[in-house]
Every structure is written in structure tokens, then in C-alpha cells.
Amino acid sequence: MSNGWVPSFKYEFAIEGIPAIAQVQDVGFDELGFKVIFWPTALAKEWMAHDRFRTGDAYAYGWLERRDAAYLMFSAAPINCRRSRIATIAAMTIDPLAYADRGNFRM
């Protein structure tokens, strides 16, 4: 688009019974940026781009490299979580269906 705005798409789902919202957006360079909020608040969709703890009890972000690699990437502190939810988040087992969940950082 000429004004530089790229639409994002939001999805509501649950993992192991935990409600979640994900936002996915094209961030250029054949990459998809994403944010995921667990135990979202009523205003989570409006605050996804701003204050992480206004959105829910746990917040993760990263991007998916699609051109040269096949894995999820993130920078420092990709996950923020309320202390009361750390054990639940840490105990989750999620097997990726198409991309590896770890790999070398690329720029």
C-alpha cells in the first residue's frame, strides 16, 4: 500500500485450554511478524501494539523467516509473563507443524 500501512490479522484460539489471541502481519523481507497473548483481557485486541500487560497475563512476539530459513526468530526478551502464570507457560508442550522452533538468528 502506498501509505506504508500493512494490515494485520488477529486470530482467537486456545492451547491446552488456555485462551489466546494471535496477531500476524507482513513485516517485509519475506517475513511474518507475530504477537501472541495468553489469558487476554477484554481490551487485548485494541492494546496488542502497546502495553503488554494490559493485553493479558503472558505476551510473546517474534517473526517467521520465510525466504532463507525455516524457523521462528526473536530478539531479546520475546516472552513477558506474570509470575503467577510462569509455571503453566513453562510446562506447555507445543510441537511445530511446519517450521522449526529454533534456529540461527539472521539479519
Cβ-count burial 86-104 (b if 16+ within 10 Å, e if not): eebbeeeeeeeeeeeeeee
Q: Which is more confidently placed, 107 or 61? A: 61
Amino acid identity, residue 13? F
Residues 64-101 have pLDDT tens digits of: 877 766 666 766 666 788 899 989 988 888 776 665 55
DSSP string, 6-69: --EEEEEEEETTEEEEEEEEEEETTEEEEEEEEEE-TTHHHHTTS-HHHHEEEEEEEEEE-SS-
Q: Which is more confidently placed, 18 or 98? A: 18
User: What is the torsional sign of CA 6, 80, 57, 100?
Assistant: positive
Residues 23-49 have pLDDT tens digits of: 888 888 778 888 889 999 888 877 666
Which pLDDT band, with edges at 50, 70 and 90, does 20 fall under? very high
